[in-house]
């Protein structure tokens, strides 16, 4: 069983480098962070997490964006475009229609390549520089490949991405392509792509920048830090609940780590930790199954399908980190239909917030949990929207209304409008 407890007074082990090391959540052994390239524990294969000889506090943050939080990160600065500092929208009509005290939308689609993956990549690519690698790689449902391609280009490194053929939204492939990634389309789903790219990384062919890489999650912690700071500034307290779409469960794991570190540092009371609430599509819901059945890890779903291609994942690699987070914070996990996702995408669009389908899953899940009475009317809720509308122009066009052909004259247009 994974042990995610943080020590009260962290003592750097001998393997630490400048107060940073990697800790195995399964066997508890510590490893040097930047000597050999490791993604999982060399002793037991367990997931690793970055540990520090210090904990962050709110008064230690300075500047803007991801690197504002550098006291909580392994380096002071990194390859930046810049990322983070995304809006926390108010959506009054949607709040009213769902029926909660406060509803804010943390729109991660406003990052430089249009998804939260940029936050992980700015840190991950900085680590790659430290390790001296020359080729970066990832498996991706699309957004990781777009971020990897852009940040890799910025750093002057080669990039290789493996994508499930026919299942990646157009905007994302266009980004990876223009930013110069070598794109391999695999006849299989995301999970198969990840198996292959892990094989390449194990053979030393490339540096793996999927969320299995613990440093990616360090960057993604900053979503939680931004939410807590901004929500407290506006409302004088922290939100009760954060609802987010779940694919590989990297963000769920990252938010939980953010909260654990703030609690250990003394700036967040245990009872103020927001309830982590994960949302998956009905056709790809192994995390929901694991929560409902009380499993320690997910069962791999071989066949997954959903309009929300960014979360079309059957084997969430970060489940051993994320499941304890959902449970320990008193959260839950819920699955939503594709039609519910599209309806939520329209609801957000009506408030001026344009998101891709996977992002809208968070709002669809909140609505469902509110209807079921799992979420109370007096809760303060933040929904995470993970990617921008233009990522998946086909889904957006299908969810919106059709253009109307008209003749080429003002008279004809007036007549058409009057119909």
Q: Residues comprising the binding site?
A: 143, 247-251, 386
134 binds Zn ion (CB under 5 A): no
246 binds ligand PLP (CB under 6 A): yes
245 binds ligand PLP (CB under 6 A): yes
Q: Which of residues 158-217 bind ligand PLP (CB under 6 A)?
A: 211
- Compute the least distance from the CB of residue 319 to Zn ion, in Å: 16
280 binds ligand PLP (CB under 6 A): no
Q: Which of 191, 218, 226, 356 binds ligand PLP (CB under 6 A)?
A: 356
Q: Which of 72, 268, 311, 399 binds ligand PLP (CB under 6 A)?
A: 311
Q: Which stretch binds ligand PLP (CB under 6 A): 22-30, 197-205, 246-254, 268-276?
A: 246-254
Residues annotated within a binding site for pyridoxal 5'-phosphate: 143, 247-251, 386
122 binds ligand PLP (CB under 6 A): no
Q: Which of 35, 43, 292, 296 binds Zn ion (CB under 5 A)?
A: 43
Binding mask 175-194 for Zn ion (x = CB under 5 A): --------------------
Q: Which does 24 bind (CB under 5 to 8 A by kind): Zn ion, ligand PLP, none?
A: Zn ion
Q: Please tell me the count of residues contacting ligand PLP according to CB under 6 A.
A: 18
Give whichever of 41 and 358 is closer to Zn ion, judged by the CB atom: 41
- Compute the least distance from the CB of residue 209 to ligand PLP, in Å: 12
Q: Which does 359 bind (CB under 5 to 8 A by kind): Zn ion, ligand PLP, none?
A: ligand PLP
4 binds Zn ion (CB under 5 A): no
Give whichever of 104 and 172 is closer to ligand PLP, judged by the CB atom: 172
Q: Write a three-state SS string for the chain.
A: CCCCCCCCCCCCCCCCECCEEEEECCCCCEECCCCCCCCECCCCCCEEEEEECCCCCHHHCCCCCHHHHHHHCCCCCCCCCCCCCCCEEECHHHHHHHCCCEEEEEEHHHCCCCECHHHHHHHHHHHHHHHCCCEEEEECCCHHHHHHHHHHHHHCCEEEEEEECCCCCHHHHHHHHHCCCEEEEECCCHHHHHHHHHHHHHCCCCEECCCCCHHHHHHHHHHHHHHHHHHHHHHCCCCCEEEEECCCCHHHHHHHHHHHHHHHHCCCCHHHCCEEEEEEECCCCHHHHHHHHCCCCCCCCCCCCCCCHHHCCCCCCCHHHHHHHHHHCCCEEEEECHHHHHHHHHHHHHCCCCECHHHHHHHHHHHHHHHCCCCCCCCEEEEEECEEHHHCHHHHHHHCCCCCCCCCCHHHHHHHHHC
Binding interface with ligand PLP (CB under 6 A): 115, 117, 143, 211, 245-251, 310-311, 356, 358-359, 386-387
């Amino acid at each position: 069983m994974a042990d995610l407890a943080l020590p009260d007074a962290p003592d750097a082990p001998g393997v630490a480098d400048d107060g940073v090391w990697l800790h195995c959540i399964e066997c508890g052994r510590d490893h040097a962070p930047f000597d050999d390239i490791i993604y999982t524990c060399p002793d037991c294969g367990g997931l690793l997490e970055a540990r520090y000889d210090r904990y962050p506090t709110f008064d230690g943050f300075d500047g803007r964006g991801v690197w504002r939080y550098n006291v909580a990160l392994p380096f002071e600065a990194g390859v930046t475009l810049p990322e983070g500092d995304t809006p926390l929208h108010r959506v009054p009509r949607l709040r009213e229609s769902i029926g909660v005290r406060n509803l804010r939308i943390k729109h991660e689609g406003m990052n430089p390549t249009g998804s939260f993956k940029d936050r992980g990549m700015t840190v991950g690519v900085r680590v790659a520089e430290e390790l001296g690698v020359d080729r970066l790689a990832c498996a991706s449902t699309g957004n990781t490949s777009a971020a990897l391609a852009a940040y890799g280009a910025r750093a002057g490194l080669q990039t290789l991405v493996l994508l499930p053929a026919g299942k990646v939204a157009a905007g994302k492939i266009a980004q990876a392509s223009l930013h110069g990634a070598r794109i391999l389309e695999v006849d299989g789903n995301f999970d198969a792509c990840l198996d292959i790219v892990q094989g390449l990384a194990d053979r030393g062919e490339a540096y793996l920048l999927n969320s299995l890489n613990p440093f990616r999650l360090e960057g993604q912690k900053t979503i939680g830090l931004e939410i807590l700071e901004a929500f407290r500034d506006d409302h004088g307290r922290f939100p009760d609940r954060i609802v987010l779409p779940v694919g590989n469960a990297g963000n769920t794991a990252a938010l939980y780590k953010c909260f654990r570190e703030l609690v250990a540092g003394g700036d967040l009371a245990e009872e103020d930790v927001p309830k982590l609430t994960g949302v998956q599509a009905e056709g790809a819901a192994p995390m929901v199954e694991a929560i409902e059945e009380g499993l320690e890890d997910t069962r791999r779903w071989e066949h997954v399908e959903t309009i929300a291609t960014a979360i079309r994942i059957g084997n969430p690699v970060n489940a051993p980190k994320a499941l304890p987070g959902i449970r320990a914070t008193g959260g839950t996990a819920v699955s939503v239909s594709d039609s519910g996702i599209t309806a939520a995408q329209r609801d957000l669009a009506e408030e001026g917030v344009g998101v891709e389908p996977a992002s809208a899953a968070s709002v669809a899940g909140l609505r469902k949990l509110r209807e079921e009475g799992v979420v109370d009317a007096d809760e303060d809720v933040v929904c995470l929207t993970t990617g921008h509308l233009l990522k998946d122009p086909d889904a957006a066009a299908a969810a919106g209304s059709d253009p109307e052909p008209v003749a080429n004259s003002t008279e004809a247009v007036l007549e058409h409008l009057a119909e």
